[in-house]
């Protein structure tokens, strides 16, 4: 073995020891609340990717889309027939598409009534509340009952909430927060949004 | 209609006009190179979520995992039997697990030989090169042939590359870059990594 290889081995052994020690310290087993926020591409896709992971381990999942896009999405087409998964499209469209506040509020409240039901059902291992954060930004939903239901949910149930901006009280009780930042986007360089990438 | 509802309608109509104008400007149709970087949770899951979206639209996809984790992942279990998808686990493990530089380099080069083949095959619509960025960080792969192959790929083929840090020449030719930042992680609060969330 060369000196460089030997050095590499030593460096990696040290790195492994540090990582193993950290792993040994994390012993608590419970469901987690994950927030995916920020203005970058990849929040909803990250949530559904994690869901695919959970489905692969035989977990039962549900998705509630709080906002419906204009197209039938590829993810919905792909996942709608999967076992162990319920997918609910509840929103009426982006709020600048509907331009109707009363209708948006009604849709938000229906979506929340369903979400609240799932949050008390321990047969669900993972819930994805996609684009829920807009409901607080536009004041279509009160945050207090949402916090109460999240806190009272079954111990092993995990929840992922996506959306650009997150209400502070939800951030306060989250276990994991990832911020997806837009450093560059093809769209701004004139590339059309395309099936299989953007929707 | 109340004044507040009317105001909302006007505000949203303006927002829609701005958004529609932006959409009208983006007319180019071609495959894109997407980079998902940063230290936050959600890069690989975002890539496979986008892949599910592409599969839902009938696109043909492939994943090359440049680094193999210690466990059989949920995403692999979930996706391995899907139509229109090839999933290749090429890496030997994290480099601090193997502690063997020569073996890691050999694995990286095998993975790249396969990646290069797929980059010249226009029957693939979307390729995911998971954790590829480590190959450049540890100098297991030269970046120049990778750039050349990415540039010469079929026009409609999209590629997603994930990993904490990205080599600058790859960033230079990327269409979309999202940075996933770790603002908080359950692991640091003592919660054990769990099947269906972390792997």
Distance of alpha carbon A190 from alpha carbon B29, whole angstroms: 9
Interface test with B, best of A7, A61, A78 (most B CBs within 10 A): A78
Rounded CA Rg of chain B: 20
- Check CB contact of B97 with chain A, cutoff 8 Å: yes
Res B111: pLDDT: 95
Q: What is the pLDDT of residues B16-35, one digit of tens each?
A: 888 888 888 888 999 999 99
Contacts of B100 in chain A (CB under 8 A): 9
pLDDT-based confidence at B155, cuts 50/70/90? very high
Smallest Cβ–Cβ distance between B192 and the set A27, A38, A51 belongs to: A27
Tokens of B7: 């105001």
Total number of domains in chain A: 1
| Residue B195, in any domain of the structure | no
Residue A45 is predicted with a pLDDT of 96
What are A188's two structure tokens?
A: 């701004």
Q: Please report whether residue B45 resides in a domain.
A: yes
Q: Which two tokens stand for residue B82?
A: 């899907």
The verdict on B65 touching A (C-beta cutoff 8 Å) is no
Whether A90 shows a pLDDT value over 80: the answer reads yes
Q: Is the residue at B81 inside a domain?
A: yes
User: Measured between CB atoms, which of A50, A77, A197 is closest to B45?
Assistant: A50
Among A32, A40, A187, the residue with its CB nearest the CB of B197 is: A32
Q: Which of residues 115-174 of B touch A (CB under 8 A)?
A: 125-126, 158, 174
Looking at the DSSP bridge assignments, the partners of residue A28 are B191
Determine, for residues B99 and A22 on separate chains, whether the beta-carbon distance falls below 8 Å. no
Q: How confident is the model at residue B1 (pLDDT cuts 50, 70, 90)?
A: low
The secondary structure of residue A152, as a DSSP letter, is T
A75 falls within a domain = yes
Say yes or no: A41 contacts chain B, CB-CB below 8 A. yes
Q: Which of B8, B25, B50 sits opposite A197 (nearest CB)?
A: B50
* Percent of chain A clearing pLDDT 90 (strictly above): 70
Q: How many CA atoms lie within 13 A of B130 on its CB side?
A: 26
Q: And the tokens for A68?
A: 């419906």
For A143-181, give the DSSP string.
Answer: HHHHHHHHHTS-TT-EEEEE-SS--HHHHHH-SEEEEEE
- CATH number reported for the structural domain that contains residue A62 in this entry: 3.40.50.300
Of A45, A99, A193, the CB nearest to B49: A45
To the nearest whole Å, the CA of B113 is away from the closest chain A CA by 24
* C-beta atoms of A56 and B49 within 8 A: no
Does A92 map to a domain? yes
User: How close A52 comes to chain B (CA, Å)?
Assistant: 6
Q: What is the pLDDT of residues B38-94, one digit of tens each?
A: 999 899 999 999 999 999 999 999 999 998 877 789 999 999 989 999 999 988 776
* Residue A84 within a domain: yes
Beta-carbon contacts of residue A169 (< 8 Å; ≥ 6 apart)? A143, A144, A147
Average model confidence (pLDDT) across chain A:
92
Q: Which ipTM value was assigned to this complex?
A: 0.87
User: Would you give the distance in Å from CA B52 to the centre of its chain?
Assistant: 12
* Strand duo B33-37 + B158-162: pairing: parallel
Q: How many CB atoms lie within 10 A of CB A15?
A: 15
Reported confidence tier of residue A8, pLDDT bands at 50, 70, 90:
confident
Is residue A197, in this structure, part of any structural domain at all? no
Expressed as residue numbers, the domain containing B82 is 28-182
Tokens read off for A127: 């819930």
Secondary structure (3-state) at B148? helix
The three-state secondary structure class of B84 is coil
pLDDT in tens, B91-111: 877 677 777 888 889 999 999
In a domain, A11, yes or no: no
Please report, for chain A, how many H helices and E strands are present, in that order. Answer: 8, 6
């Amino acid at each position: 073995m060369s000196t460089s290889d030997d050095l590499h081995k030593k460096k990696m052994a040290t790195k492994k020891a540090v990582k193993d020690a950290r792993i040994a310290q994390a012993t608590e087993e419970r469901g987690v609340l994950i927030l995916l926020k920020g203005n970058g591409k990849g929040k909803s896709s990250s949530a559904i990717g994690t869901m695919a992971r959970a489905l692969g381990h035989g977990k039962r999942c549900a998705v509630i889309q709080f906002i419906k896009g204009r197209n039938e999405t590829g993810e919905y087409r792909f996942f709608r027939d999967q076992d162990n998964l319920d997918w609910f499209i509840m929103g009426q469209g982006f709020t600048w598409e509907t331009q109707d506040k009363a209708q948006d509020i009604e849709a938000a409240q229906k979506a929340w009534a369903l979400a609240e039901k799932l949050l008390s059902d321990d047969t669900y291992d993972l819930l994805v509340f996609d684009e829920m954060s807009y409901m607080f930004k536009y004041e279509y939903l009160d945050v207090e009952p949402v916090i109460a239901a999240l806190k009272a949910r079954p111990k092993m149930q995990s929840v992922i909430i996506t959306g650009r901006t997150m209400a502070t009280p939800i951030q306060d009780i989250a276990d994991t927060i990832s911020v997806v930042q837009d450093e560059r986007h093809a769209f701004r360089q004139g590339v059309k949004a395309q099936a299989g990438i953007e929707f």
